[in-house]
Amino acid sequence: MSTGTTPQSIPAAEAGGLATKPVRQKTRRVAGAGTPAGKFLSYLGIVVIVVYCLLPFYWMIVSSLRESRDTFSNELLPSPISVENYESAFSPANGFTRALVNSLIVAGTTTILVLLIGILTAYALARLDFKFKNAALAVIITTSMFPVITILVPLLQLFTDIGWINTYQAMIVPSMSFALPLAVWNLTAFFRQMPYELEEAAQIDGCTPAQAFRKVILPLAAPGVFTTAIITFIAAWNEFLIALSVINEKSLKTAPVITAQFTGEFGRDIPFGTIMAAGVVVTIPLVIMVLVFQQRIVAGLTAGGVK
């Protein structure tokens, strides 16, 4: 008969010396989130938001597919379906095709220049230590808060003096001035969360600082760069007021300006169907771009949210 204690009878404190108790992590749950009513309300809210966002675009497509005599019809589906509004939008007299090319030139050039300048500036602000760095960031983001209308008259005077009226740069430079501060701000926050040890490891392996930035940091920063590029492109593509003010020649006008200046059959009536068709054509490239790069956009927007 054994008088000793079995291993099962040894207290945890004696067997392990300092036994640790498992720590239960407390998780917060939204009240009612797991109930059928909570799920129903969640899905209902999603449906309401999706309908609210997509309904104007749906109505624009439907209106563009109506015949001219049915422009103001309230039917949910066009009957019969007609493409005469698209034919009218792309008629040579309107110059819409050339306007699309102009919009692509302006938006593409603006995006490339903003990325080139913004990436280098943001990297310097994220990695270098100097006085008034936070103040410099504040000044940069503040410059994007001025309404376009407040600087339009000085811009017109300046561009007239230097001969920039009716030129592409008259549209590109102001678009950059509004897109660049936001790009620098976003990319600075993105570069700051990247550990500096990555660059140190690359330099130990023989890379120069420039090579470490190009081969290591930039590929890792691709989600943030893509997000910034798409936001910049959309803003430059949709810009209207500056392009309307600094361009008088029809061959240089962008798609939003040409669309707003469509005239009807008699010169004074407003061709709503044609304008809707042009609006659909202008929106399609943006929709395709977002759908193609949606994973990178989400990755860039949520980067740094969870460590």
d(CA 209, CA 194): 15
The burial class, CB within 10 Å (0-12 / 13-18 / 19+), for 184 is buried
Do 197 and 246 have their domain in common?
yes
- Whether residue 118 contacts residue 184, with contact meaning beta carbons closer than 8 Å, is answered with yes
What is the predicted pLDDT for the residue at 256?
A: 93
Do 50 and 183 have their domain in common?
no
Task: Give domain status of residue 295, yes or no.
Answer: no
Q: How close are the terminal C-alpha atoms of the chain, in Å?
A: 58
Do 159 and 51 have their domain in common?
no
Task: Give domain status of residue 156, yes or no.
Answer: yes
Counting the structural domains of the chain, the total is 2
Question: Under 8 Å CB-to-CB from 141, ≥6 apart: which residues?
Answer: 181, 182, 184, 185
d(CA 190, CA 263): 46
Tokens of 52: 């609210």
Do 163 and 54 have their domain in common?
no
What is the predicted pLDDT for the residue at 1?
A: 44
Do 117 and 203 have their domain in common?
yes
Task: Give domain status of residue 24, yes or no.
Answer: no
Where residue 31 falls among pLDDT bands split at 50, 70, 90? low
d(CA 145, CA 159): 22
- Amino acid identity, position 94: N
Task: Give domain status of residue 307, yes or no.
Answer: no
Do 100 and 242 have their domain in common?
yes
What is the predicted pLDDT for the residue at 265?
A: 61
Do 65 and 103 have their domain in common?
no
**Which phi and psi angles does 35 have, rounded to 5°?**
-80, 160
Q: Which among 85, 106, 125 is the end of a domain?
A: 85
d(CA 100, CA 106): 10
Do 251 and 163 have their domain in common?
yes
CATH at 225? 1.10.3720.10
Q: Which domain holds residue 72?
A: 36-85
Task: Give domain status of residue 162, yes or no.
Answer: yes
Do 40 and 71 have their domain in common?
yes
Task: Give domain status of residue 51, yes or no.
Answer: yes
Task: Give domain status of residue 9, yes or no.
Answer: no
Residue 44 has pLDDT above 50, yes or no: yes
Do 136 and 64 have their domain in common?
no
pLDDT in tens, 96-141: 999 999 999 999 999 999 999 999 999 888 888 888 888 888 888 8
pLDDT in tens, 222-278: 888 888 898 899 999 999 999 999 999 989 999 999 998 887 665 566 788 889 999
* CA distances to 85, 206, 222, 264 from 272, in Å: 9, 63, 41, 9
pLDDT in tens, 265-287: 655 667 888 899 999 999 988 88
pLDDT in tens, 289-303: 888 877 766 665 555
- Among all chains, which residue has been given the structure tokens 């439907």? 62
Do 124 and 206 have their domain in common?
yes
Do 165 and 232 have their domain in common?
yes
Q: Is 265 helix (H, G, I), strand (E, B) or coil?
A: coil
Task: Give domain status of residue 61, yes or no.
Answer: yes
